[in-house]
Amino acid sequence: MLKLNSYGSRKLILDIYKYRFYSAAVPKRKPENEASKEPKRPNESFMANIFRGTLVSKQVFPYPDVLTLEQKETTDSMLDPFQRFFSDVNNAARNDDNSVIDDNTLKNLWELGGMGIQVPSEYGGLGMNNTQYARLCQIVGANDLGLGITLGAHQSIGFKGILLYGTPEQKAKYLPKVASEEVYAAFALTEPSSGSDANSIRSRAVKSADNKYYILNGSKIWISNGGLAEVMTVFAQTEQIDKKTGEKKDKVTAFIVERSFGGVTSGPPEKKMGIKASNTTEVYFEDVKIPIENVLGKEGEGFKVAVNILNSGRFGMGATMSGTMKKCIEIATAHANSRVQFGQKIKEFGTIQEKLAKMNILQYATESMAFMISQNMDSGSQDYHLETAISKIYSSESAWHVCDEAIQILGGMGFMKETGLERIMRDLRIFRIFEGTNEVLRLFVALSGVQYAGNHLKELQRALKNPAANLGFIFKEASRRATTTIGLGGTDLSTFVVPELQESAKRTAACIDLFGRTTEEVLVKYNKNIINEQIILNHLANAAIDIYAMIATLSRATRTAQLNLPTAEHELNLTKALSIQATERVNQHLRKASSGQLQAENKLISTLAKKICEQDGVHSTGVIDLH
Ligand code: MYA
């Protein structure tokens, strides 16, 4: 470890003073640890902390393993019946052709307990945790994404709010119905004028004079299970009075709404590109009388309820996508192993090998992330918002790529309906859009991380106002900056991984250090205007996503190797290959995030986009129109 001489320390402290103007950075949100009276709780998110250039390893090393032997046995006992349901009862192609799942199939799924996987057994569910749920999601993802949406919209988000925020009475009343009594649930947030901007919904609920109920009016669109659901988690604006100022303000409140309350109707099923088997409709609310006891969470805190339901459900998509990718890889491999062209099996061609290896790497990283997150959630972690958003982005994009490459490997055959890949591709397209578009989630990851880094620097600024009282903190910070800036010290992952992965660990550590420095550089340069620099934020998010993929695989492969499992060598190789490829991408993104050259490129892009919009389309006919 580098020892600082007194001149070095003084210079670094002066350098740190330059960060004063951070106080203005990233406005809008309250600085952490300052405004709230809640006791300070350290943020344990690995991802949030790398924005500060700090390694917090608790969530990532060693690879978490939370299931007890009994839970493992219960899960194993469910895998078989689940798999059998898909091979013997459900027919994904038929569901897709008919744009509906027949009653008998759904009945079988209910009887299997597949609609109440995470509902505690005292309420009639299977009582599984997130990790167990993720294992079953993989099977669903490998077999039928359309049915997966019926199942996922019901429990990943439909009644998840009751599990997370329900009062004992709400749980007792609704959970038995949605777990085993064939009562479908839905999550009703999106509106015609409010998609990504979830806070701007217009549906409105007005409290009665006697404070006993709310009257809800409004409409929702693209609601999965919208035509089936008898119970819905609905979000609406409600008038709230600020306790301090007495000012009236609209704030979102979450409600449990039953169709039986009256005034709830649904439109016809939407005609969609994919996930056709699932039911998607508009839902209208006309003077729906909601008893006050059906407020979910606190009045006026519905936005938090909504984002937390989504946060807590997103890992399920990662697990589901890992199953889908596995299936695509199996189909592609079967073809590569048997198809002969130019006198050779096509698996012998480097072009095909490159594709298959990349497909497996993406699948491995997706799965490693999903289970790292589910297990952290199961062990009580509260800081998983960035990780689940990353898992959603990575899994939906990887699955799209893997399916596309599987089709490419099969060539003309892949384009034919009978291989099933074209259905999977159509089904997959929506995953990059719903549950938060990947674009919004990238900005969410980057802005949340940058805000966290900015708050840390504000803390430092405060400490520097009274250096004598904060010497320990200041020296620690100065030392960290000195060592990482000159390439000495910095992040060290060597003790966390097996010898075979030392090189990969070094590369990942270097990426983490560069990431922290670049975030800081970007903050210094753009100050509060960073919120307007979406292209730069995207580069930061992309680098963050790849770093998480590297960490999740390093950790998982290490554990596999330590346990000497039969797949160890292959997993180590997947991890090594990922670390080489991801390091290149991370470096490129971070270079782009910090380079001045990018400003000119961004300006050009913005000029182009403005012109395209002004012209309602392309504006380049030029010489082609001359003749
Ligand atoms: S459902 C519809 C999905 N819709 C969305 O996901 C909407 C996306 N939009 C948003 O999330 C928010 O509006 C964004 C923020 C992020 C854009 N976690 O001022 P703010 C806090 C925790 O930044 P906004 C569907 O598609 C923030 O810190 N906290 O807010 C169904 C701040 O707190 P404070 C968060 O600019 C598909 C406050 O909120 C988060 O308005 C069916 C305000 O923040 C967060 N994420 O917007 C799928 N975000 O005031 C079926 C914000 O304290 C399921 N905050 O500083 C399929 C499942 C898979 C299959 C499984 C089956 C097998």
Query: What digits encode the pLDDT tens for the residues 418-470?
Result: 999 999 999 999 999 999 999 999 999 999 999 999 877 666 666 556 666 66
Instruction: Using most ligand atoms within 8 A of CB, pick from 200, 307, 308 the residue to mutate for ligand 1.
Output: 307
Please state, in angstroms and rounded to a whole number, the distance separating the CA atoms of residues 282 and 267: 5
- Per-residue confidence at 481, pLDDT binned at 50, 70, 90? low
| Ligand 1 centroid – CA 444 distance (Å) | 9
Give residue 551's pLDDT: 98
Residues sharing a CB contact under 8 Å with residue 538, sequence separation 6 or more, in sequence order: 442, 443, 446
Q: Which residue has the higher pLDDT, 468 or 364?
A: 364
Give residue 22's pLDDT: 34
Please state, in angstroms and rounded to a whole number, the distance separating the CA atoms of residues 225 and 269: 9
Residue the block writes with tokens 């004992």: 168
Q: Which amino acid is at 518?
A: T
Mean pLDDT of 329-351: 97
CB of 196 within 6 A of ligand 1: the answer is yes
35 pLDDT higher than 50: no
3 pLDDT higher than 90: no
Distances (CA, A) of 254 to 159, 223, 239, 446: 12, 16, 13, 27
CATH no. of 69-185 = 1.10.540.10
Q: For helices 385-410 and 421-428, what crossing angle results, to 10°?
A: 150
CB of 457 within 6 A of ligand 1: the answer is no
CB of 189 within 6 A of ligand 1: the answer is yes
49 pLDDT higher than 80: yes
Nearest CA to ligand 1 atom 31: 435
pLDDT in tens, 109-151: 999 999 999 999 999 999 999 999 999 999 999 999 999 999 9
CB of 200 within 6 A of ligand 1: the answer is no
Of 191, 299, 301, 435, which one is the catalytic site residue?
435
Q: Is 230 a catalytic residue?
A: no
| DSSP 3-state percent helix, strand, coil across the chain (nearest 5) | 65, 10, 25
Mean pLDDT of 270-281: 98
Q: For the stretch 530-548, what's the b/e string if a residue is b when 16 or more beta carbons lie within 10 angstroms of its beta carbon?
A: bbebbebbbbbbbbbbbbb
- Per-residue confidence at 30, pLDDT binned at 50, 70, 90? very low
- Per-residue confidence at 184, pLDDT binned at 50, 70, 90? very high
CB of 470 within 6 A of ligand 1: the answer is no
- CATH architecture designation of domain 191-310: Beta Barrel (2.40)
CB of 382 within 6 A of ligand 1: the answer is no
Q: Which amino acid is at 68?
A: T
User: What predicted TM-score, i.e. pTM, was given to this entire model?
Assistant: 0.91
Percent share of the chain, pLDDT over 90: 81
pLDDT in tens, 70-108: 999 999 999 999 999 999 999 999 999 999 999 999 999
Domains 69-185 and 191-310 are alike in CATH topology? no
Domain boundaries, the chain: 69-185, 191-310
- Per-residue confidence at 506, pLDDT binned at 50, 70, 90? very high
pLDDT in tens, 307-319: 999 999 999 999 9
Catalogue the long-range contacts made by 411-417 (C-beta closer than 8 Å, 24 or more residues apart): 413/335, 417/93
CB of 101 within 6 A of ligand 1: the answer is no
Nearest CA to ligand 1 atom 39: 304
37 pLDDT higher than 70: no
Distances (CA, A) of 43 to 46, 189, 383, 468: 9, 29, 6, 26
CB of 201 within 6 A of ligand 1: the answer is no
DSSP H helical ranges for 470-615: 471-485, 502-526, 534-562, 568-594, 597-614
Atom number of ligand 1 nearest to Cα 435: 26
- Per-residue confidence at 27, pLDDT binned at 50, 70, 90? very low
Q: What HEC string does 276-303 produce?
A: CCCCEEEEEEEEEEEEHHHEECCCCCHH
| Ligand 1 centroid – CA 198 distance (Å) | 7
Give residue 457's pLDDT: 66
Q: Which amino acid is at 79?
A: L
Lowest model confidence (mean pLDDT) among 34-48, 255-269, 609-623: 34-48
| Ligand 1 centroid – CA 312 distance (Å) | 10
| Ligand 1 centroid – CA 205 distance (Å) | 21
> How far is Cα of residue 102 from the mean position of the Cα atoms in its chain?
31
| Ligand 1 centroid – CA 303 distance (Å) | 8
Nearest CA to ligand 1 atom 4: 436
Nearest CA to ligand 1 atom 52: 307
Please state, in angstroms and rounded to a whole number, the distance separating the CA atoms of residues 512 and 50: 6
4 pLDDT higher than 60: no
Please state, in angstroms and rounded to a whole number, the distance separating the CA atoms of residues 139 and 142: 5
- Phi, psi angle pair for 187, to nearest 5°: -115, 115
13 pLDDT higher than 70: no
Reading phi first (left if > 0) and then psi (alpha if -120 to 50, else beta), residue 342 is in: left
Other residues' Cβ atoms within 10 Å of the Cβ of residue 73: 11
Instruction: Using most ligand atoms within 8 A of CB, pick from 101, 437, 444 the residue to mutate for ligand 1.
Output: 444
Q: For the stretch 285-320, what's the b/e string if a residue is b when 16 or more beta carbons lie within 10 angstroms of its beta carbon?
A: beebebeeebbbbebbbbbebbbbbbbbbbbbbbbb
600 pLDDT higher than 90: no
Nearest CA to ligand 1 atom 38: 304
26 pLDDT higher than 50: no
Residues sharing a CB contact under 8 Å with residue 181, sequence separation 6 or more, in sequence order: 124
Give residue 17's pLDDT: 34
